[in-house]
Chains A and B, each alone.
Chain A
Amino acid sequence: MVLPRFIRNLILARQRADLPLRLNRRRIYILPTRAGTVFAFFLLAMLIAAINYTNNLAFLLTFLLGSISILSAIHAYANLAGLEVEAGRLFPAYCLDDARLQLFFRAAGRERRRLCVRIGAAEAEFSLHAGAGLEMDLSVPTSKRGLLPLGQVVISTRYPLGLFRAWSPLVLPVTGLVYPRPLAVDRMDRHQLLGDGDEGGLGIVSQSGEFGGVRPYRPEDGMSRVSWKASARGAGLFSKEFRSGVARTLVFDWDEVRASGYEERISLLAGLVREAEREGISYGLRLPGLMIEPGSGAGQAHRCLEALALLPEGA
């Protein structure tokens, strides 16, 4: 349905919500489903039969079924009302991959049956015991790098009879980041891509390290260095240590990369960052007007990919 932009904005403004939030009557809408409409015709047929046969029991049953259907609307409303959305998080994703949306729900007061949460085409169903919380994961498709504003999330239910659908459209203050689509880079053509060797910002400082042993985990180590085998023995986390006799640092430079276009250059840099991160190399990134000092770990990768993602469009 095409609505004038200002009306759409008005509706969106009403749906905007801060987290944590609790669904209440301002946010919950309720309408009969198609099945509910069909059922209304059934009821009408029953009522006509009851009138025609002046059959009191038929009257009573018709009114009973009518009341049940009206009450099912209240049950559907109550199934949604008071539901809490405590937190929402949109994890970064490479462009064209699905971003993972994580929502944390809590059933305040009552148990919740068969709630459906939908964003775009992605849909998931869940039930909650009274007071229980649950993390739901949904996939959000991405189409271009940059900030990904979360669209409308709809939480709905048809429980208990399917005659009514109660729903709550929400626009959550959750924004994700879409990294550029990384071009696949393998070791063989890295040099070719980066230019003719060690000129410019690209310098081989040392060979990559070899595995040496474990030491207690430090936050800056990053999750990829955690030695799960050692940690599983108990008493804390351990990190793998690499013999630092030879270490290597690369700085990927915007101007040095051989690429045919603007976006391809960004994709290529993203691919290099991913590859370097995968190999555990220390790396940095130089972009027009921005220099990211060499480092390693998930934090470093995110910093670099974020900088690439947020580069202005076109050139």
Chain B
Amino acid sequence: MIHDKRRFSVTLLALALAFAPHLPRVPLFVGVFVCAAWGYALGMQYRGWPVPSRWLRVILALCCLALVLFTHGRSFGRDAGVALLSLMLGLKAVESKSVRDMLALLFLAYFVVVTNVLYSQTLVMSAYMFFSVMAVTAALVHLHSGESRLLPDLRRGGLLLVQALPLALLLFVFFPRLQGALWGVHDERDEGVSGFSETLEPGSVASLSLSREVAFRVDFPGSIPDRDSLYWRGLVLDSFDGLTWSRDLPAEVTAPRGGALPEGGVPYTMTMEPHNREWVFALDLPVLAPRGTVLRSDQTLASLRMVRSRVRFELVSVPTPGSAPVPGPPWTALPDGGNPKARALATQWREAGLSSEGTVAAALEFFREGGFVYSLRPGAMDQDIVDQFLFATRLGYCEHYSSAMAFLLRAAGIPARVVVGYQGGEVNPMGGYLIVRQSDAHAWVEVWIDGRWLRVDPTSVVAPQRLVTGVETFVPQGRGVVLPEGVRALRKVGRFFQLGWDAANNSWNQWVLGFSHERQRGLWERLGLDPATRAGAGKLAVILAVGLCTVLGVVVGFMLRARRDRRDPVVSLYARFCRKLEKQGLPRGPAEGPRDFARRIGTLRPDLAQPVGDIAEGYMALRYSGRGDLAAFKRLIDEFMGRKN
């Protein structure tokens, strides 16, 4: 049947649309197999290629299973599942004969669309998923409509989707969310996530400086603070082993403080991209720990769960540090040997009787006057790296400056620590929020003076513009080529669209992807509902039921609305014809059918017999046989209405 061929092609097309985003993700052999199987299935439909025998299909299925197990082995998770699903799509297409098989294929296609979101949830991908849901729905409609044309079925598929959206949103908002997963989700995201590691060594921050990837976005309800005060603390490093700074001291957890906004506190919302660690970057200095996080004694925030997906936190920070207890000996500890020149310099300061502030000032002065150059490519250093940097190369990036500064201060007997995080950020004027990228990664020093840990940023004295314009100033720009004005303008336009796009993505992330258990609870509380109590749960159920009924009622009303404005064109054309005859004194009798009427006219007015007979035949064909040519009928009527008599 030609119709079945057509329907099969449409089914396969919808399937291919749903599968397309997976193609670059699945192993090559899977992609090749699926495409080949679909090609063969089309050949079966159009060229009459033979259906592969059952044992061949079984062997193929077993081979595919073995290959997937061989490729993915022990880590049978998302990737292996998708590979297996893809192979099933290929095999199922080859054995598809009946409408039921096509139905199964289309259900699988829906499933494929949903598996896509386990990989990507960007705005583009989401839009594409909605598009593919519509395509699969239209294919389902096509399977059931008996239409030969595709357009009405596409329209019906679109109508279903549009009508379903409000209902889906209602369920989305009110369907109770759980906290956490039902069972362990295999961690497959380690690769390809950029960001800090737990340690700081020369080169670890510089490697991030070229990445335009977004680390997090921040929304301030008030005005955005000045750029040079935007220090996002992530991790405090307390130990130095001669090469690497790391966090070795146990970080005590202070009780998470909730409650009122503290004096001078700046509230903001932070949306972090997944980095697979528990750190939460917060503006100097976080004071309240939101739900799901703890505040550590070094005033850094940590999430209770690894940040594996985009997550939102409502944070409050204060600009001035509070008092801290006298730090113990670990905060001045250094390795036993190495870096003699740096130690000598520190000893010199201590013997000169400088106070803590004086030592800090002397160190900053040393950096300012020492001919240091800020560079992203300082070259490799192997031994006594502090000495090499301070007295030989004098080329360095923020981690070199902060590492050396902390070393000097500790050597002078002053408690000091290295802080890694981000500095600055780009304001998106369209969204009114701040975008902080990996290239904003930074490291600085905190010194314990007068009962407080104060921030000191040695980089700022060497390269003050680093804090004002960001790291881009220092990124090598294709060997000093001056870009023509036109290209610069074009880049500006590009930048404009980039920021607009980021704003759209951010809204999507905030409103749809960021809708978590916590935010749902927040929304319910704002509506005066507490689902924990019986009354609250009852109210919630009532709201949900009323909402569902309203939406469904509107749809039913819309679907059942009798379209009086769209009268049958055949009837109205015929009525015009009868009215004209009536005006000429030839009214149609109340019980007179079109054939009898035409015959009577034919005898009364033989000159009209021919056109009237044709009209009666046309009318009867259209109205009673369901066949006939409406356009030809309309021409007949128009011709008749144009007659002089």
The answer to whether B181 has its CB under 8 Å from any CB of chain A is: yes
Scan residues 146-170 of chain B and give those whose CB is less than 8 A from a CB of chain A.
146-147, 156-157, 160-161, 163-165, 167-169
**Contact indicator B563/A58 (Cβ below 8 Å):** no
What residues on A are CB-neighbors of B137 within 8 Å?
A: 68, 161
Partner of B160, one of A35, A71, A108: A71
What residues on A are CB-neighbors of B180 within 8 Å?
A: 54
Mark A124-149 against chain B: 1 for CB-CB distance below 8 A, else 0: 01111011111100000000000000
What residues on B are CB-neighbors of A59 within 8 Å?
A: 172, 175
CA–CA, A245 and B494, complex, Å: 104
Partner of A160, one of B145, B181, B552, B566: B145
**Contact indicator A55/B144 (Cβ below 8 Å):** no
What residues on A are CB-neighbors of B623 within 8 Å?
A: 132-133
CA–CA, A35 and B100, complex, Å: 8
CA–CA, A77 and B559, complex, Å: 9
The answer to whether A174 has its CB under 8 Å from any CB of chain B is: no
Scan residues 53-106 of chain A and give those whose CB is less than 8 A from a CB of chain B.
53-68, 70-72, 74-75, 77-78, 81-82, 104
What residues on B are CB-neighbors of A109 within 8 Å?
A: 560-563
Using C-beta atoms within 8 Å of the partner chain, give the interface range for chain A.
35 or more
Residue of A nearest to B515 (CB): A56
Binds B, one of A39-47, A184-192, A291-299: A39-47
**Contact indicator A42/B110 (Cβ below 8 Å):** yes
**Contact indicator A125/B146 (Cβ below 8 Å):** yes
Partner of B552, one of A74, A82, A104: A74
CA–CA, A55 and B125, complex, Å: 14
The answer to whether A252 has its CB under 8 Å from any CB of chain B is: no
Residue of A nearest to B564 (CB): A109
Partner of A52, one of B110, B171, B183: B183
**Contact indicator B107/A68 (Cβ below 8 Å):** no
Using C-beta atoms within 8 Å of the partner chain, give the interface range for chain B.
35 or more
The answer to whether A158 has its CB under 8 Å from any CB of chain B is: yes
Minimum distance in angstroms from B536 CB to a CB of chain A: 22
The answer to whether B641 has its CB under 8 Å from any CB of chain A is: no
**Contact indicator A134/B563 (Cβ below 8 Å):** no
**Max chain B Cβ within 10 angstroms of own Cβ: one of A56, A58, A72, A159:** A56
Partner of A64, one of B146, B168, B185, B568: B168
**Contact indicator B185/A53 (Cβ below 8 Å):** yes
Knowing A51-B178, A130-B563, the reply to whether A58 touches B555 (Cβ < 8 A) is no
Partner of A67, one of B118, B147, B167, B556: B167
**Contact indicator B144/A114 (Cβ below 8 Å):** yes
Residue of B nearest to A237 (CB): B599
Knowing A70-B552, A74-B559, the reply to whether A60 touches B626 (Cβ < 8 A) is no
CA–CA, A41 and B130, complex, Å: 21
Knowing A70-B552, A75-B559, A132-B623, the reply to whether A114 touches B146 (Cβ < 8 A) is yes
What residues on A are CB-neighbors of B552 within 8 Å?
A: 70, 74
**A interface, CB within 8 angstroms of B:** 35, 38-39, 42, 45-46, 48-68, 70-72, 74-75, 77-78, 81-82, 104, 108-110, 113-114, 125-128, 130-135, 158-162, 235-236
